[in-house]
Amino acid sequence: MKAKWPFVLLCLLFVSEAAFSQAYMVVRKKGSMRKYEYFVGSKIVYKQKGQKVFFTDRITEFADSTLVLDNNILLTSQIAEIDIRNAESNRSDFLSVSETLLPTVGIGLIAIDLFNHSIVDGKRLSLDRSTTTTAGVLIATGYTMKLVRRKKVNLMKPKFEIYIVGAN
């Protein structure tokens, strides 16, 4: 009798896990591991086919291939372009943090160098060449990472796809 209870609890755990699966939308480049995910409650910035402007809306529900938004109902096939900066991604957190942290560290390095030369050493305001070069490389690397990162996905190109996972 005692052996039945762990088995029953284990079965209930698996049943409850399957019952509460969450639907979400995936945007990805075919053949790539990188994907961008949108969940219920996420903000989405998109351009509809035939429109020239981007619309911002909040996702309230997913159906087969339909997004139910706060102010619109939209088929995934009607989306021409998506701004993916608000999407959840499997991109490394290290890269996301680096593109913000590197320029900050570079500017901080210049500020500390100026403080050391003028206040601590008592010299006139000047920059050390090697410190300035290092700070410049940090700043340039951070901003380059930010510029190179993909910001929009054009779904009109056949290399990108959009689909909904887990919708009833």
Strand spans (E) along 40-151: 43-48, 55-63, 66-69, 73-75, 79-83, 88-89
Q: Mean pLDDT for each consecutive 10-residue tract of the chain (168 residues)?
A: 66 55 85 89 91 92 88 89 86 86 94 85 79 94 91 89 82
Gap between the Cα atoms of 39 and 43, Å rounded: 9
Q: Is 140 a domain residue?
A: yes
Predicted structure pTM score: 0.69
Gap between the Cα atoms of 40 and 27, Å rounded: 15
| Residue 111 and residue 57 share a domain | no
| Residue 83 and residue 44 share a domain | yes
| Residue 158 and residue 137 share a domain | no
Which tens digits make up the pLDDT trace of 18-56?
445 688 899 998 888 889 999 998 899 999 998 899 999
- Its domain, for residue 120, covers 93-148
Q: Is 16 a domain residue?
A: no
Gap between the Cα atoms of 67 and 46, Å rounded: 12
CB-based contacts of 62, cutoff 8 Å, min separation 6:
23, 24, 25, 40, 68, 164, 166, 167
| Residue 87 and residue 154 share a domain | yes
